[in-house]
């Protein structure tokens, strides 16, 4: 397996399972209701906002891998439109899963020699750094979601 395929597998694992930590986003969000997803705890971001935030960068870099420009702005990465019901929460999750699958496929197809090339502009470093950065970013916020989930779910909830 080449490096691009390994990076793609690592991205899939943090989203869908099979990683070294045995924690993944899909299983973690399983059973989280829309009300729990939008519940504000202290000054923390909500679960829904964190899911949106993680996927914001996946979506932005996916577009670059598809040949488009990098249009993401950090200032907008937490700008989730209000979720007011189960359908909105489900749509956000489905978009997240679909974008992760598409992104992983694009990474897998990325020629290995491109991993060392400049990603968009000098301050961002190379493709390798950015792809791994997105995976690390996802793990970081996944840990936050795990903790927030424990705070918003009732103690007798099996999830």
**What pLDDT tens digit does each residue of the chain (159 aa) get?**
799 999 999 999 999 999 888 999 999 999 999 999 999 999 999 999 999 999 999 999 999 999 999 999 999 999 999 999 999 999 999 999 999 999 999 999 999 999 999 999 999 999 999 999 999 999 999 999 999 999 999 876 555
Tokens 């996927």 locate to 55
Three-state DSSP state, 44: coil
Q: Do residues 22 and 130 lie in contact, with contact meaning Cβ atoms separated by under 8 Å?
A: no
Distance (Å, rounded) from C-alpha 80 to C-alpha 8? 26
pLDDT given at position 155: 74
| Residues contacting 89, CB < 8 A, separation 6+ | 33, 34, 37, 38, 48, 83
Q: Which residues contact 80 (CB under 8 A, 6 or more apart)?
A: 48, 49, 52, 53, 92
Give, in words, the CATH class of 3-152. mainly alpha
C-alpha to C-alpha distances, 38 to 4, 14, 49, 107, nearest whole angstrom: 35, 22, 8, 31
* Residue-level pLDDT at 143: 97
């Amino acid at each position: 397996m080449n490096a691009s395929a390994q990076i793609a597998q690592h991205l899939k694992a943090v989203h869908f399972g099979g990683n070294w930590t045995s924690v993944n986003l899909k299983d973690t969000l399983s059973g989280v209701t829309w009300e729990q997803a939008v519940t504000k705890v202290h000054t923390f971001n909500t679960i829904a906002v964190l899911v949106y935030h993680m996927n914001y960068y996946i979506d932005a870099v996916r577009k670059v891998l598809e040949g488009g420009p990098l249009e993401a702005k950090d200032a907008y990465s937490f700008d989730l439109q209000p979720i007011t019901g189960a359908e909105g929460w489900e749509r956000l999750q489905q978009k997240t899963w679909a974008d992760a699958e598409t992104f992983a496929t694009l990474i897998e197809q990325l020629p290995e020699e491109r991993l060392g090339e400049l990603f968009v502009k000098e301050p961002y470093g190379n493709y390798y750094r950015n792809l791994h950065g997105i995976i690390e970013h996802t793990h970081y916020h996944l840990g936050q979601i795990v903790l927030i989930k424990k705070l918003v779910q009732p103690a007798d909830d099996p999830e």
